[in-house]
Amino acid sequence: MILRRPFFWIIAAIVAAFAIAPAIGDNIELRESLVLAAVYITLASNINMILGYAGYVNFGSIVFFGLGGYFSVWLMSAHAWPLAAALVAGGVAVSALALVFGLGILRLRGVYFALSTIGVNEGVMAFVANFGPWGGSTGIYLSPALFQPLGGPAKALWVIYYLLVGIMGLSLVLSYAVKRSKFGLGLLAIGQNEDAAALLGVPTPRYKAIVYSLSAFLPAIAGGLYFFKSAYIQPPDAFDLQLSTETIVVAMLGGQGTVAGPALGAFLYEELRGWLLTSPTFSHFQLVVAGVLLLAIVLFAPGGLMGLLYRLWPRLRSFLE
């Protein structure tokens, strides 16, 4: 059982640290930095299932986050759905859509697949920007009254934070459970050599479509929470290719294909980014850093930080995943 493995408890410890640290002394500044870290970890862990396990580079994974945001925000503002129902509905709707897109574009391989994922993101953004019910290019603004059921804005921000940390924890558990499963083994085989995997009986089309759809679910819910927190959503923020690219950098920095790597990479990257943004010399410099990091990883450390750690202490492999 998953509960008996040490790695599960490492995940639990990470989640507990996220939950407790900002609560000590009501540290709102720390909470806001950890909100972003939790979002990055969620996005990176989920993209890792398709990028790190199945070996498909999804440049447009942010479309899940943005669409999830739109679905939830719209359900709450136009149909007065409660937060929880709107979030779950957003996750389900986006996963279903991803399944449809996935069955189409996962016939492509390599660079063609990567390009098509950008196409999906840009296509969806163009559609949303012209979609009346979702406010077209002006997007949707939420009324502050929507925070009332959660006990007013100040308290609502804490509720949202804890929900996001929960989604982050679920992402790590999902990513771990998948890796340990037969499904995960099939994905890893696809990632190593898709033709050989198919010859051995791995149902490659189905597995790829399922993982593409599965990797959409939690990011969509995270999007719902994130844009509920912002109280507005607009196409360029929801479908931000820059964030999409950063997600890939983060997963590769930590070590694609490992469970802990994307979380580690996301946390370090977010802290670094926070520092770069507040340091006057480097403002908006994070993309340059991201680019240089990506190059350095691809050239010198294809296994990312986890790869380096494993090389230094091979015994880590026995309890880190």
- Find the binder of other proteins among 186, 219, 255, 261 (CB under 8 A): 186
Q: What is the pattern of x (binds other proteins, CB under 8 A) and - over residues 129-148?
A: --------------------
Residue 249 contacts residue 92 (beta carbons within 8 Å): no
CB nearer to other proteins: give 15 or 189. Answer: 189
* Residue 196 lies near other proteins (rule: CB under 8 A): yes
In the chain, the DSSP E strands lie at: 140-141, 232-233
DSSP annotation of 279 reads: S
Query: Using the 8-state DSSP alphabet, how is residue 54 labeled?
Result: S
Q: Which C-beta is closer to other proteins: that of 198 or that of 276?
A: 198
Rounded CA separation 220/87 (Å): 8
Which residue in 276, 221, 292 sits closest to 43, CA to CA? 221
Give just the sign of the alpha carbon dihedral 144, 124, 114, 283.
Answer: negative
DSSP E strand stretches across 107-172: 140-141
Q: For other proteins, which residue of 51, 83, 197, 260 counts as binding (CB under 8 A)?
A: 197
Which pair of tokens denotes residue 237?
Answer: 């923020």
Establish if 111 lies at the interface with other proteins (CB under 8 A).
no
Q: How far does the chain reach from its first CA to its final CA, in angstroms?
A: 15
Identity of the residue, 196 or 292, whose beta carbon is nearer to other proteins in the bound complex: 196
- 210 lines the binding site for other proteins (CB under 8 A): no
Is 188 one of the binding residues for other proteins (CB under 8 A)? yes
Assign 303 to helix, strand or coil.
Answer: coil
**C-beta of 235: minimal distance to other proteins in Å?**
39
Q: Is 202 in the site for other proteins (CB under 8 A)?
A: yes
153 binds other proteins (CB under 8 A): no
When binding is defined by CB under 8 A, the residue of 204, 213, 247, 286 that contacts other proteins is 204
Regarding 198 and contact with other proteins (CB under 8 A), the answer is: yes
Task: Please report, as ranges, the residues that interact with other proteins according to CB under 8 A.
Answer: 181-182, 185-186, 188-189, 192-193, 195-205
